[in-house]
Amino acid sequence: MQDAVITEKQGPVARLILNRPDKHNALRFADLDLLVAALHEAEEDDDVKVIVLKGNGPSFCAGHDYNDAIRSYGLEDDGSGAKPRRPSQRSRLLRDRKLGMNYMAFQNSLKPVIAQVHGHCTGVGMYLVELVDLAIAADDATFSHAEQRLGLAGNTWHLNSQILMYGAKKARELMLLGDAFDGREAERVGLVNRAVAPGDLESTVEAWAQKISKHARDALVTGKAMHQMALDSLGGSQQFARGYVGHTLGTNLRFESDEFNFLRERRQEGTTTTFKNRDKRFAD
């Protein structure tokens, strides 16, 4: 589990590296806990001025590991053929509150964080890119909020930030449709600062990190604190309090017989096939 997140440090730059390449860096809940612990270590290291978030292998982050999420929420089929007992609201709220605090840690990082995005970026990967300070993507990266097709339909952790970033109607489009778009479109809608050729991604991020590191340490943390205070005046912290309650409700829906029930389909077809069937349902 420890190898799921790697930390590298070179001069004033710390790199937090997602390291489940065979899973396109899909994060288990424990992996996200490790990632936040690594973030805090970089915050507390006085030699570090800038933090880069990136992924090993073919993708930045393909979202949550849904097999792990189902186990963590107590929804796993025990093999008896009986329908799993619905977990208590109190256990769900405790789990989701921790998840929300992990997301908020990236929004509230004391030091600038740059996301370096390639390959697939969806679900928690998208959330992290939306919440960090800066993002640079390969122009052929693939972004989507396809996780909203699981029954969320616009019920997100940080809707304030998404509305500020995209505008109200574009945010609703991205959440309700869940369609994929590339790095160039991500730059156009404001999700990333810059889309570059894949071969230029590493060097561009490095150049930005080095330029930012020219600032004084106190200036960087003071500037970030002021940015956070401005976000808070617009509901930047309160959004997570709403978000964890919303996530518990949104992942505990009653599905009617003509609606796509991910858990039911997964029990019958397996995880990979169920994801494919979900996206077929939303295809044009």
pLDDT at 67: 87
For 247-259, how does the pLDDT look when each residue is reduced to its tens digit (9 = 90+)?
A: 888 888 888 988 8
For 201-225, how does the pLDDT look when each residue is reduced to its tens digit (9 = 90+)?
A: 999 999 999 999 999 999 999 999 9
pLDDT at 2: 67
Tell me the pTM.
Answer: 0.92
How far apart, in whole angstroms, are the C-alpha atoms of residue 247 and residue 49? 33
Compute the Cα dihedral for 174, 178, 184, 190 and give only its sign: positive
Report, as ranges of residue numbers, the positions in the chain whose pLDDT lies below 50.
none
For the chain, give every domain's residue range. Answer: 2-253
Domain 2-253: CATH superfamily, name plus number: 2-enoyl-CoA Hydratase; Chain A, domain 1 (3.90.226.10)
pLDDT at 82: 67
